[in-house]
Amino acid sequence: MNTQFTKRARLFAGLISVAALAYGEASGFYAYFFLDVAQFGYGPVLANILGLAVVFMIFGLILLGLRRLLSARA
């Protein structure tokens, strides 16, 4: 696994989250309902972001496992 790529991907995801929260704070419009700080507060919104990160990491691990399984069969 390319650790340089994963570091960049995590940094990019974090920057996008911060940008979405900053834009929503400035304009009052949140692009995603689960990022609406005015409705939910910062604690639940940060939990939503962390939960999504965990789900995507698990999904990525599943895909990596499938790739290894299928390449071992070939």
Provide block-wise average pLDDT over 10 residues at a time, the chain (74 residues).
82 94 95 93 96 92 93 84
Which H/E stretch holds residue 61?
A: helix 42-73
Contact 35, 18 (CB under 8 A): no
Task: Report how far residue 74's alpha carbon sits from residue 70's, in angstroms, rounded to the nearest whole number.
Answer: 7
| pLDDT score of 1 | 60
Q: How far is CA 46 from CA 10, 38, 49, 53, 71, in A?
A: 15, 13, 5, 11, 37
